[in-house]
Every structure is written in C-alpha cells, then in structure tokens.
A and B are shown apart, each in its own frame.
Chain A
Amino acid sequence: MLTQIKRNIVQGFVNFWRNGWVSLATVLIMVVTLFVFGSLFFSNVILTSSLEKLADKVDINVYFKVTANENDITDLKSSLEKLAEVKQIAYISREQALKNFQEKHSENALITQSLDELGENPLGASLNVTAKDPNQYESISKFLESQNYEAIIDKVNYHENKKVIEGLNLMIKSSRTSGLTSTIVLGIIAILVAFNTIRLAIYTAKDEISIMRLVGATNAYIRGPFVVEGAIHGVLATIITMAVFWLPLSLGRDNIILLFLPFSPIPDVSGVSTAEFYGGPDLFHYYISNFIVIFLLLLVLGIVLGVISSLIATRRYLKV
C-alpha cells in the first residue's frame, strides 16, 4: 500500500515533467482561474470597505432647543444608547457647538462681530447619532418622534437627508448583489475552463488507461498519478498567481484587478489606484498582511480543482 502511494507520487511528477507543454498549458489555464478568483476576492474587499466607509459617513443630528435642560438631553442619550440599532452617539454641548462655530468662521469678521454683539450663546446642543446600518435611520427617527421629547427637540435632520440615505441604501444593496452575481458567474466559468482543460489532457491518455487496466492495474493505482499531477498543477498555479498579483499591487496599480472584471461596479478608474480613488484600503498592504490566508485559500482551491477534475476525468475511462 505504502509503496503503491510512493510510486503514484513519483509517477505523478514524472508524468508532469514528460507531458511538458500540456502540463504548462494546464498550469497557465489554472493560473487564469485562480487569478479570477483572487480578483473577485480583492474586489470584494474593496467593495465592502468602500461601502462601509460610505455608510459610516451617514448620520443624523438631533438638534435641541436652546432652552433644553442638559439632564433631559442626557436622559434621551442614554435611552438612545439602549437601542440595538445605534452604533455610536456623540453629544455636542452648547458650549462645544459655539466653539466649533467660532473656529469654523474665525476668518469671517462679520460673524465674529455679530456673535460678540449678541452676548449670549445662540446655539443649541445636539446629538450626533450613527446607526449600525443605514437602513435603521428610519426607525431611530421614529423612536425620537414617538417619545415625548417635543419640548426639547428643535429638529431631527433625518427628513432632510432621507432621500440621500435611501439612495445610498439602494446603491449599497445593488452593489452587493452585482458583486455577488459576478463572483458566482465568473467563478463558475473559471472552474469549468480549468476542469475542461484537465479533462482534455486526460482524454489524450485514455488509451494508456485502457492498457493499464489490461495489464492488471487497479483503478486506484491508475488514478493515483493523475491525481498527483492535478495537485501539482494546483500548487504551481497558486505560486504563479500569487506572483502575478504581487507585481501590479506593489506598483500601486491595483485597479488592474478591477478592470479585469466586466461587472465591476467601478466605471473607470484607469490611472488611479483604488486607494487614491476611494480613500479605501491599500490593496498591496492588504495583500502583504493577509498573504498566508490568500495563499492558502488559492492553494486549497487550486488543489481541490486539480484533484477533482482528474478524478472525474479518469472516472469515464475506468468505467467505475
């Protein structure tokens, strides 16, 4: 049993070497497949982090009347904090609001003068509320209306921002859907191409398989070298793919990955790196810090693809 396995492994390497061009072509096709998967993986990273960034920028402000008691505001704040939807609340006191306002308009003499003239702080306190999901602003706003805070709340700016928030929600949703669709479609195409290449390579060996059967080799013994060869293809393809990713990413030209995808949600980013374009993640940094994970992911995919394709392809000629 052990010698059989050893022979299978040795024979797998010998076959790989002797098949020369066929092996090379198979590995290259597999590189394309793994590259598609890697690109899908990276564009998901970009998409997710950009969408998160966008979603983080959305918030609502609750403005309080100048007369509002600070204790009432703290009450409201703590009851908001108990809501599951709320991610973060920032309290801006009247003094803070004034200070912010002054800083913002420090260049404008007219405004500074008017403020001085006024003598007292005309600004109310406010709460800045960020939800965990942009979809949840509606319910947070409803919550604020339903409570009896009319006496202290001046206005909630949700209604002004409603259109923008809803539009953004729609965009996020459709980007996620199109991202998922393109992942699935391209993934299936890539797998089929690799599978068929391996099948064709084994097709050329169908006479050999029948000879081996006649000489009295067991099915497992015949299959062994093909499976080993499939695994070798997977390993080599993974190494080459990792190298292929390294080059453009290290040059900051990570948009190459996005241009590779026809369904990419990004219309035209040629000449700009995604980091510049989005303020999103630096893909090269991401690639380096997740090198092991990406490598293992592609390796498993490559080996599984190679081995399973070989098993299915030989199955036909072994009549199992």
Chain B
Amino acid sequence: MIYFDRVSKVYSPTSIALEEVSFTIEPQEFVSLVGQSGAGKSTLLKLLLAEEHPSSGKVFFESLDMHKVSNSDLPKVRRRMGVVFQDYKLLPTKTAYENIAFAMEAADKNEEEIQQDVPQVLELVGLMDKAWHFPSELSGGELQRVAIARAIVNRPDVIIADEPTGNLDPINTWEIINLLEKINELGTTVVLATHDKEVINSLKRRVITLEKGKVVRDEKRGRYIL
C-alpha cells in the first residue's frame, strides 16, 4: 500500500536527511519507525504526505506516485491519510467538535454525516463531555485524542502518527497507543514514528529502524535497539 523506492532527501551537501531508503508497507500493518532525533523519521513522513519532495527516488501510495499528484488532486489523496502530530496541530479557534467536523467539511461531507460521525469518534476517544471545549481548555492527552479523532473521522486508509506521545506522560501515552492499536484492529494501516523504547517493546509489531538517514533494521516483531 505504501512503497518507498530508493528515496533520498538532501537539504544540502552537509545535511542529508534520507539516503536510498526503500521499504514496503502492506495494508492493515502496524509499523513503527524508530531512530534518534535527526535520523530522518519526520522527513520520511513529510515525503509520504507530499509536504516535501524527494531529491531522488519515488514514494507510492497504492498506485499513486505521491510527487506526481497535481496540486489540485493532493487534498483528495490527503483525505485518505489521517495525520497525528506531536504538537497536535489543532485549530485554536475551533472547538474539539469543530476541529473534527472541519476535516469532514473539507472532505465535502454533508451535515447529516457530520452530525452522525463526529459524536461517534468523540465517543471512541472518550471525549464526548469535552466536545465544546477549545484546544486551550484541554490537557495534552485530551488534545492528542481530539487529533486522533480528527485523523480517523474520514475513515482513512492509513494513520500517520509523528511522535504522538512525545509530549505526554506515561498514562496518557498508553491511552494513545491503545487507541492506535484499536484503530489498527478495525482495519486501518498505522505508521507510527517514535523514539519511546517502552512503547516499541510492548507493541511487538513491525519495526523499521533508521540511523543517519538509512534503514539499518526492518523486523517483523521488532524491539527497540539502537
């Protein structure tokens, strides 16, 4: 479903983010990307979202070459990927409910669907009672759960999570990881970038390890080894 074909990203001769990276992700997999800060995890996810373009190589999402998708078609492709970030990236001027509804509105869903689906995902992440709070009124764990609700509300094919637990305490971290596992069990591919050793070791799922821009390990039931 996702295919990286000898992808390199060079910002400058002294700053090489990725070098000849190749791997394939199958549908409904739960893949963790690990590596130290600066190993290239975020760059890799940005390439997948077509936020940045590779210096060489190709990134495929199903049969689509992500970097040949036109600017006008890009939004449609992005609606099939749900994104979750370390800093949540919620819209500060919208309530939790509106943040989630916005993703549906952008995808041109009608009011009925929105009124039906948004409460459902809020229920799923356990935030029904905080639906009308603004981001500034929510805790870190709550914010990340809103972000996940927003990511899944359009029923995407893949969830891309970039250090989703980076700002959270252990209890909230587990809640978020459990949510991602639940989403994966419901049939959505999950790509999780993290450097949290505990998380990786307890997941016991596929782990791709990056080091200085290269894939150094790719194991089916991986552990955190650096």
* Chain A residues packing against B (C-beta within 8 Å): 3-4, 7, 15, 18-19, 207-208, 211-219, 221, 319-320
Contacts and interface: CB of A to CB of B under 8 A. Distances in A.
Interface string B99-133: 00011011110110000000000000000000000
A214 B81 CA distance: 9
Interface residues of B, number: 26
B75 interface: yes
Contacts of A221: 75, 105-106
A29 B58 CA distance: 49
B49 A212 contact: no
28 contacts: A3-B111, A4-B105, A15-B93, A208-B91, A208-B92, A211-B91, A212-B102, A212-B106, A213-B75, A213-B78, A214-B51, A214-B78, A215-B102, A215-B103, A215-B106, A216-B77, A216-B78, A216-B103, A216-B106, A216-B154, A217-B75, A218-B72, A218-B106, A219-B71, A221-B105, A221-B106, A319-B71, A320-B71
B89 interface: yes
Interface string B19-63: 000000000000000000000000000000101000000000000
A213 to B, nearest CB: 8
Given A216-B76, A216-B81, A219-B71, 20 more contacts: A7-B105, A18-B93, A19-B93, A208-B92, A208-B93, A211-B89, A211-B90, A213-B75, A214-B51, A214-B83, A214-B89, A215-B78, A215-B102, A215-B150, A216-B79, A216-B103, A216-B107, A216-B154, A219-B75, A221-B106
A216 B76 CA distance: 6
Secondary structure dominating the interface of A:
helix
B160 to A, nearest CB: 10
A265 B83 CA distance: 62
A121 B110 CA distance: 97
A12 to B, nearest CB: 13
Nearest to B88: A211
Please give me the 7 A-B residue pairs with the lowest Cβ-Cβ distance, nearest first: A217-B106, A216-B79, A216-B78, A218-B75, A215-B103, A211-B89, A216-B75
Nearest to B100: A215
A236 B103 CA distance: 31
Nearest to A19: B93
Contacts of B78: 213-216
Contacts of B107: 216
Nearest to A222: B106
B93 to A, nearest CB: 5
Contacts of A216: 75-79, 81, 103, 106-107, 154
B102 to A, nearest CB: 7
Interface string B174-214: 00000000000000000000000000000000000000000
A13 to B, nearest CB: 13
Contacts of A219: 71, 75
Nearest to B89: A211
A211 B150 CA distance: 12
A217 B101 CA distance: 12
Contacts of A19: 93
A15 B77 CA distance: 27
A213 B51 CA distance: 9
A3 B113 CA distance: 13
A218 B72 CA distance: 7
Contacts of B72: 218
B91 A214 contact: no
Contacts of B79: 215-216
Contacts of B93: 15, 18-19, 208
B119 to A, nearest CB: 19
Nearest to B83: A214
Nearest to A207: B89
B23 to A, nearest CB: 23
Contacts of B154: 216
A213 B103 CA distance: 10
A170 to B, nearest CB: 58
Contacts of B110: 3
B112 to A, nearest CB: 11
A7 B107 CA distance: 12
Contact of A3 (B71, B81, B108): B108
Contacts of A208: 91-93
A214 B106 CA distance: 11
A133 B131 CA distance: 74
- In the complex, which of the residues A7, A212, A217 has the most CB atoms of chain B within 10 Å of its own CB atom? A217
A3 B154 CA distance: 18
Contacts of B92: 208
A160 B107 CA distance: 82
A320 B77 CA distance: 17
